[in-house]
Structure 1
Amino acid sequence: MKYYAIIVAGGSGNRMQSAVPKQFLLLDKQPVLMHTITAFHSCALNPHILLVLNIDQHKYWEELCLKYNFTIPHQVVNGGAQRYHSVKNGLKAIKGKGIVAVHDAVRPLISVQLITKSYQVTEETGNCIIGITPTDSVRRVLENGKSEALSRDELVLIQTPQTFEIDLLRKAYQAPFRNEFTDDASVAEYAGFKINLIAGERENIKITHPEDLEIASILKRMIKRTP
């Protein structure tokens, strides 16, 4: 079986209040994206790593790799207008069958154990989507300023990687882009495929806001101290 990882790095950094895209910001003296690629490289299944990156950022990424002596093998693919198109470009760069994990570049704390489990579950079921249950109370916003309580036990906060048999995901991505395609699971579900959920990790946060970098740094130190 061949394994692949599509790392989607299309963030602009707007919510980070930074001119530098968030995947390039430093986490413990190294760009966030390098931590993410390292996690997949550390997986014993040895996935082929494809980095989907805006074409205008390719040169900058090359310079960062030289600056930080980052030599992990990976293939750089041109990004698209939306995440949907970036993933589709990544899929086009893969030849043949296998299993592919699609992961946000700005989730640098994903564990090797969860990456491996995602591939293994996908071998058994065709796909594997990870998520965590919310700990806060949740409400649905209705019209006219009204809202209603929802049971958090019935909700899951979806993370990445989202992992699929490649042929399954290719078939799903034949559908034209729709605004409701917010992740790969929504694309696959629209194509009629059943989504298989497993538990994610609370440490697997997405770097979105300025304070997330500090939180990630703290979590990273905590993970290192855990036996």
Structure 2
Amino acid sequence: MKKVAVVVAGGTGSRMNSIIPKQFLLIKGKPVLYYTLYTFLQSYNDLTVILVLPEEHIAAGQEIIDAFFDYKRIQITAGGRTRFHSVQNGLELITEECMVFVHDGVRCLLTKNLIKRCYEAALEFGSAIPVTECKDSVRLIRGDDNEAFDRGKVKLVQTPQTFHSKILLPAFKIDYKDKFTDEATVVEAFGLKVHLVEGEEGNIKITKPMDIFIAEQLLLASAD
């Protein structure tokens, strides 16, 4: 089945204390976004990418594509005011039945193995949401009170969130709600259940300066 990765890279450098958006910061001499695109394009020969960027940074994204990749496999489109609207803009470019991976552009350390596991699970169940175990103690806040909560009942959600296009495209026709924090919440609001798969501890999201250091060390370790 045809495969399309909608890579959403609409972040800013606010928590990085940087004027450079985090997707363009360098790790080992290459932009964060490079590693994300490289892994997807290496995972399947028939996979294409829809890269969603803030309109003012489309030129910077095009420079990365021109420098490192086959431009025929990557389309760029402008993002929207929220993640939901950015994904919606990306999905509008899909014109045929396919499997859709929706991924945070700054989760640059995902592996081909994770992509393939999500694909295989979505073929069987219609969706695949990678999650990891919660290792910390958890407390539930109720008004002014708080109480311990069983961390065994908590999963930490990652991307790529993967869906058959027959599920995801109609789901994104519904009206936006503030509770839509990811694609799984949209599909659930559409009335469907989602299937969880095992994620990866190394599939971190670059949000703070420490994450750049961690990503560099993980890349060095994987090269050994």
1:186 equivalent in structure 2: 185
Give the whole-Å Cα distance in 1 for the aligned partners of 2:44 and 2:7. 18
Give the whole-Å Cα distance in 2 for the aligned partners of 1:44 and 1:80. 28
1:136 equivalent in structure 2: 136
1:44 equivalent in structure 2: 44
Shift of 1:141: 1.8
* TM-score scaled by length of structure 2: 0.96
Give aligned-pair identity as a percent.
40
Structure 1 runs, 4 residues or longer, greater than 6 Å off: none
- On the 8 A contact 2:34/2:64 being kept in 1, the answer is no
TM-align CA RMSD: 1.1
Equivalenced residue count is 222
Give the whole-Å Cα distance in 2 for the aligned partners of 1:15 and 1:7. 21
* TM-score scaled by length of structure 1: 0.95
- On the 8 A contact 1:3/1:45 being kept in 2, the answer is no
Provide, for residues 95-138 of structure 1, a one-character-per-residue CA deviation record: whole Å limited to 9, x for no partner: 01111000000000000011011111111110000010111111
Give the whole-Å Cα distance in 2 for the aligned partners of 1:222 and 1:182. 32
Give the whole-Å Cα distance in 2 for the aligned partners of 1:175 and 1:65. 32
Provide, for residues 130-166 of structure 1, a one-character-per-residue CA deviation record: whole Å limited to 9, x for no partner: 010111111112212x211111111100000000001
After the TM superposition, which of the residue ranges 1-10 and 73-82 deviates more from structure 2? 73-82
**CA 1:62–1:217 in 2, change beyond 3 Å: closer, same or farther?**
same
Residue 174 of structure 1 pairs with residue 177 of structure 2: no
The one-letter amino acid paired with 2:68 is: F
Unmatched segments (≥5 aa) in structure 2: none
Give the whole-Å Cα distance in 2 for the aligned partners of 1:55 and 1:147. 42
1:223 equivalent in structure 2: 222
1:103 equivalent in structure 2: 103
Give the whole-Å Cα distance in 2 for the aligned partners of 1:16 and 1:126. 36
Give the whole-Å Cα distance in 2 for the aligned partners of 1:65 and 1:162. 23
2:94 equivalent in structure 1: 94
1:4 equivalent in structure 2: 4
1:152 equivalent in structure 2: 151
1:60 equivalent in structure 2: 60
1:70 equivalent in structure 2: 68
**CA 1:107–1:20 in 2, change beyond 3 Å: closer, same or farther?**
same
1:162 equivalent in structure 2: 161
After the TM superposition, which of the residue ranges 211-220 and 72-81 deviates more from structure 2? 72-81
- On the 8 A contact 2:9/2:52 being kept in 1, the answer is yes
